[in-house]
Amino acid sequence: MKSCIKWFEEISLADLSLVGGKSASLGELTRELTACGVRVPNGFAITVDAYDAILDTGAVRESLEDLFDGTDRADSGNLTQLAQAARAIIKDAGLPQFLREQICSAYRQLSSLYGDAATDVAIRSSATAEDLPDASFAGQQESFLNIQGESAVLEACLNCFASLFTERAISYRRDKGFEQMSVKLSVAVQKMVRSDSASSGVIFTLDTESGFRDSILITSSYGLGENVVCGRVDPDEFLVFKPTLRSGHKPILRRKVGAKQQRLVYSTHGSRTTSNINVPDEEKSKLSLSDDEVIVLSKWALSIEDHYSKLHGKKVAMDIEWAKDGRDGQLYIVQARPETVFSSHFSNTLCTYSLKEKGELLLEGRAIGEKIGAGPVRLIRSKNELSEFQSGEVLVADMTDPDWEPVMKRAAAIITNRGGRTCHAAIVSRELGVPCVVGTHTATEVLQPHSEVTVCCSEGAQGKVYSGLLPFDRKDVSVEDIPKTITKVMINLGEPDQAFSLAQLPVDGVGLAREEFIIANELKIHPLALTRFDSLTDKVAKQQIAQMTKHYPDKCQYFVNKLTEGVSTIAAAFYPRPVIVRLSDFKTNEYASLIGGQQFEPKEDNPMIGFRGASRYYSESYRDGFALECRALKIVRDDMGLTNLKIMIPFCRTIEEGKSVLSEMSANGLNRGENGLEVYVMCEIPSNVILADAFAELFDGFSIGSNDLTQLVLGTDRDSELVAQVFDERNLAVKRMIEMAIKEVKRAGRKIGICGQAPSDYPEFAQFLVERGIDSISLNPDVVLKTIPIIAKAEETLPSLLRKNEMDAVMSAQ
C-alpha cells in the first residue's frame, strides 16, 4: 500500500498539492532554515492521499458531492446543518486500516526520536488551498494540542480531516470562489513545544495596522499559543526595526505590557487536553519575553522573510507562530505563512478618515485598522445569537470565534472585551476592512443593546467608542497626483502611535518631533521625581511613581526607556529621512503638572518667557533631568542605529546659552558631528535672528518657531485671551523678521526651515515662505496634502526669485 507519510525533512513548498500549505511550510522551514539557526520541532505530514483514501471508502465522496450540489450559495442560516452533515459523513467512515497502521508507525518513530514512549504532539489541519498569496485559509480547519498515545492521535487525525467542512471553512471557500470539493486536506503531526510553562505568540514581519514593512511585530503571552490567536488574552507586544537590526543593532522600538489574563496549559481534568488558568497579578505586569529573546525571534523572522521572498521573487511579509519550551528554555518556530491582508491591499491611494465632531467617550481599546464605523449595538454572547445579527450593526462580544466570520463581514464595526493586535477578531476585521476595537475589557457591560455608537480607529493606537452616530469624513488621494516640490515638505509629529501611518505621506521627514508629547502621554512623571525619588515629599505622588516603576530597579531607567521607545518609533517610521527631535520644551507650569512635579518647579507669573528651553538644560537645578533625555537620544542613535535623528534646542536666548547646552550634551555623550550628529536651534527669539551669523557657527541648522517669534516680536502673551486679537503671524513686523532670518541664515551657509503653526493655518503664509527661499516647511499632518499644491504653485516663479536672491547676496557682499 502506498505510503501516506512524509517527514518534514522530505517535503518543501513544492509539495503543497501533496501535503497542503501548513505541512509544506513546516517542511520548507525544516529543510532550509534550520541551517540558519531557526529551531523547528520535528514531525511528519499525512498526505492528501490519505484524505482521498477516506473519500474512496464506501460512498463518502458521492455523499459529499450530493450534499453540496446546489448549496454553495446557501446563506449562513443553513451553514450549521450543512457543516454538521459533511463532518458526520467523514467521521462515520473512519480511517482505513492501512492508514491507521502508517500513522501509528510514524508516531512511534517520532516518540523514539525524542526519547519518549508516547510523546506529546500537536495535530494540525493543512489544506491544499492554504497560505496562497490572495487567500490564507489559515484557521479555517481544526488543530488539536497535547495529544498523546496512538488512539488519541488517530482520533485527532480523523477530526482534522472532518474539519475541512467547518462552517467557517465552507463559508470562506465560497467567498473566495473555491468549489467545496476542490480543496483537499493533509494533517501535520508535530512535536509539542512545552510553552504551557513558558510563553508563545505570533510574529508579523510588518506593522499590522499601517502595513509599514520595515517593522517586526511580536506578540507574546504565557502558555500555549491558542489564547493569543483566539483573542482570549491581551498579549505583550514588541516592535522591532528591520533595517538597523540587519546592521547588528538591537532596535526594539516599543514594548507594551499586555494583561495576559489567562495561561493555556496541559489539562489534568478528564478528557480535556488543555485548560485555562488565571495568571497571578505579579506575572501579568511583567513582560513575557526578554529583550534578548525578542532579538532572536526578530532575526529568525528576517531569515524566514528573506527566504520566502527569494522563493516568490518579490518581498513577502510573513505571519509566523513561535513558542518557548519551559523545560529546555529554547525558542521554536512552529509555523510560518505569507501574510495576506496587507499584501493583497497595496494601493497608491491614501485613504484617511476623520471625525467631524466628537461625542461622549464610552470606551477605549486597541484600534485595528484606521477606519470609522457607526451603527446600533448588537451584543453577541454566544454562537446561538448570531442568527439575530443584522447588516450594519456593531458587533459587540467578549471575543470572536472563527465560526463567526460569516456575520463579521456584515458588521459596521466590531468591539471585543479581550484580544490583541494578532487575535482572531483583529485579523478578520483587517481582511474584511471593518473597523475594530479589541481589548476594551468592559464593552459587553458598558454598551447597551440597540444603542447607537461610533467606532473610531483613526485617532492613533487607541480605538475609541463614542455615543451616537457621529458624522465623519473619508478622503481618498492618489499619491501619483501630488506634485513634487523643490522646497522640502516635512511634518510636525508628537504621537509615536501615528508615526507609521503618517510616514506614508509624501513628505521629506519630520521637521518637529515634540518630546513633550511623549513625556506627557507616555511617561507622565517629572524627570526630577525619578532622579530624586528618595527626597520626594508628596506621598501620593511617591506611591504612584513607585507603582509605575516597580519593575525598574533604577527608576531613572523608566524615563529613559519610555522616551527611547517614543522617539525611536518616530525615527524608524521615517528612516532614512531626517527626523528633527526638539528637546523638552515644557514651561514651568506644564512641568509642575507632571506626577511629582510640584516640588521641583518655581511659580512664575509668565512661564512663556521664563525658565524654559535651553536655560533649563545646563542649570544645576535641572541638569540631572536633562541627562535622562540625553541618555535616551544617545541610545536611539548609537545603540539602535537611527542616525537620521537630529536634535534641536528650543528657546536658546544667547550665544553663551548655546555653548552651555552643547557642552552639557557633550558631557552626556552627544557630541555634535560625532556619528553624523547634527544639532539645530529653534529660531523663535529676536536674538536668534539678529545674531543669526553667530548662532550659525554653533549649530547646523535653524527652524523658525512662528508662535513664539510672533509673541516676542509683537509683545503678546500667546496664552492670554485679552490680547489674542493682536497675535497674528501674518503681521508685517513678523514677516519681516522671518524674511531677515531666512536671508541671514542662508548667507551663513546653513539650512533654515519652519515648524511653527502659521503655514499649517494660512496657505498664503506658505506661499510667502517659498518666495523668500526657505529650505523646508514642516506642516501639521492634516494639512499636508492640501498645502503641497500651494507650495508647488508658488515655486513656478522660483527661477527668477533665485536669481534675485543671488544678486541681493552679491550686492550685500560689495
Give 148-181 as a DSSP string: -SHHHHHHHHHHHHHGGG-HHHHHHHHHHT--TT
Q: What is the pLDDT of residue 429?
A: 85
**Joined grid coordinates for residue 298:** 526578530
Q: How many other β-carbons are positioned within 10 Å of the β-carbon of residue 221?
A: 30
Q: Hunting for cell 494540542 — which residue is that?
A: 145
pLDDT, residue 811, reads 39
Q: Up-side HSE of residue 542: CA atoms within 13 Å toward CB?
A: 9
Q: How far is it, in rounded angstroms, from Cα 394 to Cα 446? A: 14
Task: Give the residue from 266, 302, 259 showing the smallest Cα distance to 280.
Answer: 259
3-state percent breakdown (helix, strand, coil) of the chain, nearest 5: 45, 20, 35
| CA atoms in the 13 A half-sphere facing the CB of 537 | 3
b/e burial code for range 267-300 (CB count within 10 A of at least 16 → b):
eeeeeebbebeebeeeebeebbbeeebbbbbbbb
Q: What residues pair up with 397 in beta bridges, in sequence order? A: 416
CA torsion sign for 124, 130, 132, 136 is negative
Lookup: cell for 240? 522591532
Find out whether 433 and 363 touch, Cβ atoms under 8 Å: no
Q: Would you call 424 a catalytic residue per the annotation? A: yes
Average pLDDT, the chain: 90
Q: Residue holding cell 489541519?
A: 125
Q: Residue type at 116? A: D
- Report the C-alpha gap between 257 and 276 in whole angstroms: 20
Q: What is the DSSP string of 187-241?
A: EEEEEPP-GGGSEEEEEESS-TTT--TTEEEEEEEEB-THHHHHTSS--EEEEEE
CA distance 167 to 527: 55
Q: Which residues contact 480 (CB under 8 A, 6 or more apart)?
A: 348
Strand partners, 218: 203, 238
What pairs with residue 239 in β-bridges? 217, 254
The Cβ-side half-sphere exposure at 141, using a 13 Å CA radius, reads: 32
Helix/strand/coil for 430: helix
* Residue bearing cell 491507521: 100
CA 756 vs. chain centroid, Å, equals: 29
How far is residue 38 CA from its own chain's centroid? Answer: 24
pLDDT for residue 152: 94
Q: Calculate ∠ Cα 331-336-338, nearest 5°.
A: 145
Q: What's the DSSP call for residue 15?
A: G
Q: What is the distance between the terminal CA atoms of the chain, rounded to a whole angstrom?
A: 99
C-alpha cell at 16: 503543497
Report how far residue 365's alpha carbon sits from residue 355's, in angstroms, rounded to the nearest whole number.
18
Alpha helices in 370-488 (DSSP H): 405-408, 424-432, 443-446
With a CB cutoff of 8 Å and minimum separation 6, the contacts of 101 are: none
pLDDT score at 145: 86
- DSSP string for 629-663: HHHHHHIIIIIS--TTEEEEE-S--SHHHHHHHHH
Looking from the CA of 222 toward its CB, the CA atoms found within 13 Å total 23
Handedness of CA 647, 512, 211, 520 (dihedral sign): positive
What pLDDT does residue 405 have? 76
* Residue carrying C-alpha cell 505568540: 201
Q: What CA–CA distance (Å, rounded) separates 413 from 369?
A: 11
In Å, how far are 342, 503, 564, 571 from 577, measured between CA atoms? 23, 10, 18, 8
Q: Which residue has the cell 511585530?
A: 217
Spans of the chain, pLDDT less than 70 = 1, 70-77, 129-140, 268-272, 342-349, 403, 798-814
Q: Choosing from 436, 556, 652, 755, which is the catalytic residue?
A: 755
Which H/E stretch holds residue 351?
strand 349-355
Q: Which 3 state secondary structure label does DSSP give 491?
A: strand
Asked if 336 and 320 count as a contact pair (C-beta separation under 8 A), the reply is yes
pLDDT value at residue 348: 66
d(C-alpha 479, C-alpha 496), whole Å: 23
The three-state secondary structure class of 693 is helix
Contact 579, 644 (CB under 8 A): yes
State pTM to two decimals: 0.84
Which residue, 741, 680, 743, 746, is CA-closest to 712?
741
Q: Compute the half-sphere exposure of residue 780: CA atoms within 13 Å on the CB side of its CA.
A: 10
CA-based nearest residue to 706, from 723, 740, 682, 680 = 682
C-alpha to C-alpha distance for 79 and 71, rounded to whole angstroms: 9
Residue with cell 447597551: 448
Residue indicated by cell numbers 521607545: 565
pLDDT at position 132 = 45
d(CA 124, CA 41): 13
How much is the pLDDT for 342?
Answer: 66
Catalytic residue selected from 160, 230, 423, 424: 424
**Residue owning grid cell 467578549:** 398
Integer angstrom CA distances of residue 403 from 11, 282, 386, 408, 607: 31, 34, 10, 10, 59
